[in-house]
A and B are shown apart, each in its own frame.
Chain A
Amino acid sequence: MRDEQNQTAKNFVEQVVALAPALAGPRGEGLERFAKAGLPSTRVEAWKFTNLRGLDKLTLGPAPDAATVTVDAIPTALDAPGPRLVFVAGQYRADLSRVGALPEGVVLAASTGDATPVAGEGPFRALNSALSSQGAALRVAAGVKLASPVELVFIAATTGDKAALWNPRITIDIADGAEATVVEHHAGANAGTYVSNIVADVTVGVAARLHHYKLQAEGLDAWHLANISTHLARDAVYDTFVLNLGARLSRHEARQVLDGTGIAARVSGAYAISGNQVSDITTLIDHAKPHCTSREVVKGVIDGSARAVFQGKIIVRPDAQKTDGYQLNRALLLSDQAEINSKPELEIYADDVKCSHGATAGELDEDQMFYLRARGIPRDAARVLLIGAFLDEALDEIIDETVRAYFRARAEAWMGAR
């Protein structure tokens, strides 16, 4: 069946190669590697629960010229928007961005595809390395504390009925002793079919702090593939949270290396999906050095025939004594067809560590529903109360109060639309 289809229509990889500009040097080699490897199948362990076959059914076309797209509203998590970079259909829109008046030592700019493909990258990272032409770069110099959160806004747009592909590259570099908050928005309501293939490279220096939040609210026909790699130095604090609400299929793959002592990493997330959506949150927390803590709380609500995937791997290297790791994964299933695939993986090679994990899946509690309704609260409002309470346990992990309130409101809007 699959072979027959390939004879009549080109698959995703072939279309990508056909549409790509002529590339020489490392980029050309990167694209070649991507083409040769093809899309990972579900036989690959890391992709066991997330099937990419649907990508082969897309008909790819060029992305629209961003300059021709009218943008009605730019999402913000803040009461008053601060510095921000805005991208439309993967292209930088200077007219919608605000980068003025930043403290000395802070560089916030659209970057021009400075990525270099390297052998051994995963398929989508390789694709991004080969094709990325624009992206966002934030650099905060040593000791500088950036008070206002920086927002990186990616707004989708398509033309006609062909699917667009863009490959934004995000680079965040917080030098020793510096501090910043970054909020990523991926918005695509009613934007049609597209593939957003994002790569983010993050470094947090010695005793530096980064709050890194992401709201994925892509259109419901979108494919959102994100690959985040974070390197943390001694005594760094990294607080990251992803909220998955949109996309036909989303994969948030985040790898953090705790490469110094005394690091505190908080890697959490939530999702609320319905219809036939797939939300995949795959994380790797790599404890390479002793005396670090990591904390991961991922919770989500699944309605309709939607499916969620959580793969949470924690590695404690032989040297990483006195590691304190905590992982919790909970799913709330609102329908009989809803599904969760949860795979916690602890690989512990040190002997003096504290690591715990828990995973549960369940339905709304009937006794709680009856109790609320018996006090006059209508069924829908009772559900919203219980789902909200369930998600709060994850959302409470967000340290920044303003962002927490905004993410809570977005999750509440999802519940209200049920």
Chain B
Amino acid sequence: MSLIEIKNLHATVDGKAILKGIDLTINAGEVHAIMGPNGAGKSTLSYVLAGREGYEITEGSVTFDGQDLLSMEIEERAAAGLFLAFQYPVEIPGVSNTTFLKEALNAVRKTRGETPLDAMQFLKLIRAKAKDLSMTDDMIKRAVNVGFSGGEKKRNEALQMAVLQPKLAILDETDSGLDIDALKIVAEGVNKLRGPERGMLVITHYQRLLDYIVPDVVHVLANGRIVKSGGKELALELEANGYAQFGVTEAA
């Protein structure tokens, strides 16, 4: 069964068309990658799916796990199992990572009709998940992303994903700002979540990340449309030949 079905999705920002008819279906158990040059609409697609304000949907539909995604509030989408790993995770001074994760997990559990975890259960869970990502106790106690390095912020995204156990994870340029060691840790965290009931959409500019999170399907996004789809070998081809074949000239 399809986990998410995007049909003819058009979106504008400040009246400017960014997405011009996206069609994409991801089934449970599949990992899809979207590659494309800067300005193709990659981040817009991830924000539109997560429900960020400031985007106008002018045409099309998105069905997520049987529900009309576009009519749902941001937090309803998250509770339904959609997770966006941010390209630039936001710093929240004064709110500890622990408080943040606990609020998030218990809000999501509440929506799913599950009982909230008490302080002890929660701490046990978060410690185990943090250990998998080589995160220290200090990192989970500190204010959300404040004073975190680029790699620590991405690991924190992976931690949130591991705690919230989404049905569909969208990774928006997760490789940006990461050195190879941090990339491996984050990719390992993501791979742990791969499973027959879960889907993933990996958005990236470079092929490098896909060496570690190997996709089942690769799509090329250019000028607001998916212009080509193929197997994982398509990523290697793009790495070798660039995006020029799709009529795109990239500024370095």
Contact = CB atoms under 8 A, between A and B. Distances in A.
26 contacts: A366-B53, A368-B92, A370-B50, A371-B86, A371-B90, A372-B92, A372-B100, A373-B51, A373-B78, A374-B50, A374-B52, A374-B83, A374-B86, A375-B78, A375-B160, A376-B78, A376-B104, A377-B104, A378-B75, A381-B107, A385-B92, A386-B92, A388-B95, A389-B94, A389-B95, A393-B94
Majority DSSP secondary structure for residues of A touching B:
helix
Nearest to B92: A368
Nearest to A396: B94
A109 B164 CA distance: 57
B111 interface: yes
A401 interface: no
B84 interface: yes
B103 interface: yes
Which of A365, A378, A382, A385 has its CB near the most chain B CB atoms (within 10 A)?
A378
B75 A377 contact: yes
A406 interface: no
A374 B73 contact: no
B3 to A, nearest CB: 18
B54 to A, nearest CB: 9
B73 A390 contact: no
Nearest to B80: A376
A81 to B, nearest CB: 29
A3 interface: no
Contacts of B51: 373-374
A381 B116 CA distance: 15
Interface in B15-73: 50-53, 73
A389 B77 CA distance: 25
B74 interface: yes
Interface residues of B, number: 29
Contacts of A367: 90
Contacts of B111: 376
A379 interface: yes
A373 B90 contact: no
Given A371-B86, A385-B99, A376 B92 contact: no
Interface string A349-393: 000000000000000011110111111111101100110111011
Contacts of B89: 371
A372 B89 CA distance: 11
What are the 8 A-B residue pairs with the smallest beta carbon separation, nearest first? A389-B94, A376-B78, A375-B104, A373-B74, A371-B90, A376-B108, A376-B107, A373-B75
Interface string B81-121: 00110100110111100011001110110010000000000
A47 B164 CA distance: 53
Contacts of A385: 92, 95, 99-100, 103
Given A377-B75, A379-B73, 19 more contacts: A368-B90, A370-B52, A372-B92, A373-B74, A373-B75, A374-B50, A375-B78, A375-B108, A375-B164, A376-B79, A376-B111, A376-B164, A377-B104, A378-B75, A379-B75, A382-B75, A385-B100, A389-B94, A390-B94
Which of A365, A376, A381, A382 has its CB near the most chain B CB atoms (within 10 A)?
A376
Nearest to A387: B94
Interface residues of A, number: 23
Interface of A: 365-368, 370-379, 381-382, 385-386, 388-390, 392-393
Nearest to B161: A375
B92 A374 contact: no
A374 B78 contact: yes
A388 B105 CA distance: 19
A418 B52 CA distance: 23
A59 to B, nearest CB: 45
Nearest to A367: B90
Contacts of A388: 94-95
A392 B94 contact: yes
B74 A370 contact: yes
A390 B95 CA distance: 9
A243 to B, nearest CB: 17
A378 B103 CA distance: 9
B73 to A, nearest CB: 7
Contact of A389 (B75, B84, B92, B105): B92
Contacts of A386: 92, 95
Contacts of A381: 103, 107
A374 to B, nearest CB: 5
A56 B74 CA distance: 49
A368 B100 CA distance: 12
A201 B219 CA distance: 74
Contacts of B90: 365, 367-368, 370-371
A393 B143 CA distance: 13
B94 to A, nearest CB: 3
A382 B107 CA distance: 11
Which of A367, A377, A393 has its CB near the most chain B CB atoms (within 10 A)?
A377
A377 B100 CA distance: 9
B161 to A, nearest CB: 10
